[in-house]
């Protein structure tokens, strides 16, 4: 059985990615299997650069194929912020709740038509001796006026997926995976995996 290492400590991301690779003859490992591995900082200006940097670091350390994603939320009224700083928008080590509260505060008073946003995701595949490949996915929507729903993580409670008219946090994980930025990027990554493995 082939092995691949997911370059993430985020349990929610690992679960989503494992769900999308179900049915494949691949053993999926995570950073929890490599406690000595220190991940590089996310200092690139875009999601693709950060994803590639993480995947290459993990492939180099483990000698195994590695997959990394970097993703976040871009809000039109904020000039694309929080962008690559999505996970630490309210400060280093900020919680999802703190990030959502800051975002809603910044958009307070804006009408629905001015609350356009998109989730973006870049997935990088790094295999030693082969050029790192990156695929991307995005999902447009708008920001709600207050959190709604218990599911998902990150900005899911405030991100309205307009074709359904509900937040990601109110969608089942299966429904969300079909339309989300990460779901779209991982569908492309599945094709890449076939080529690379």
Spell out the domain ranges in the chain: 2-196
User: Among 4-13, 85-94, 140-149, 158-167, whose mean pLDDT is lowest?
Assistant: 4-13
> What's the pLDDT score for residue 1?
65
Q: Please tell me the distance from the alpha carbon of residue 134 to that of residue 131, in angstroms, as a whole number.
A: 10
CATH number of 2-196: 3.90.950.10
101-125 exposure pattern, b = at least 16 Cβ within 10 A, e = fewer = bebeeebeeeeeeebbbbbbbbbbb
pTM above 0.85, yes or no: yes
The residue that leads in pLDDT, 149 or 189, is 149
Annotated catalytic, 69?
Answer: no
| C-beta of residue 134 within 8 angstroms of C-beta of residue 123 | yes
Q: What is the pLDDT of residues 65-99, one digit of tens each?
A: 999 999 999 999 999 999 999 999 999 999 999 99
The arithmetic mean of pLDDT across residues 158-173, rounded, is 95
The arithmetic mean of pLDDT across residues 15-31, rounded, is 80
In the predicted model, is pLDDT for residue 186 greater than 90?
no
| Active-site residue (options: 25, 33, 43, 70) | 70
């Amino acid at each position: 059985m082939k092995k691949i290492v997911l370059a993430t400590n985020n349990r929610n991301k690992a679960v989503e990615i494992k769900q999308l690779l179900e049915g494949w003859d691949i053993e999926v490992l995570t950073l929890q299997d490599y406690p000595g591995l220190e991940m590089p900082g996310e200092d690139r200006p875009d999601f693709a650069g950060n994803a590639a940097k993480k995947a290459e670091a993990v492939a180099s350390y483990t000698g195994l194929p590695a997959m990394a994603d970097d993703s976040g939320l871009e809000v039109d009224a904020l000039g694309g912020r929080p962008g690559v700083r999505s996970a630490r928008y309210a400060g280093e080590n900020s919680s999802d709740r703190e990030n959502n509260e800051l975002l809603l505060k910044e958009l307070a008073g804006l009408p629905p038509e001015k609350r356009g946003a998109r989730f973006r995701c870049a997935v990088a595949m790094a295999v030693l001796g082969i050029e790192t490949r990156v695929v991307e996915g995005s999902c447009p929507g708008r920001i709600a006026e207050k959190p709604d729903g218990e599911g998902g993580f990150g900005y899911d409670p405030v991100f309205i997926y307009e074709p359904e008219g509900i937040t990601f946090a109110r969608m089942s994980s299966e429904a969300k995976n079909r339309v989300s930025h990460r779901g779209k990027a991982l569908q492309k990554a599945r094709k890449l995996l076939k080529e690379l493995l």
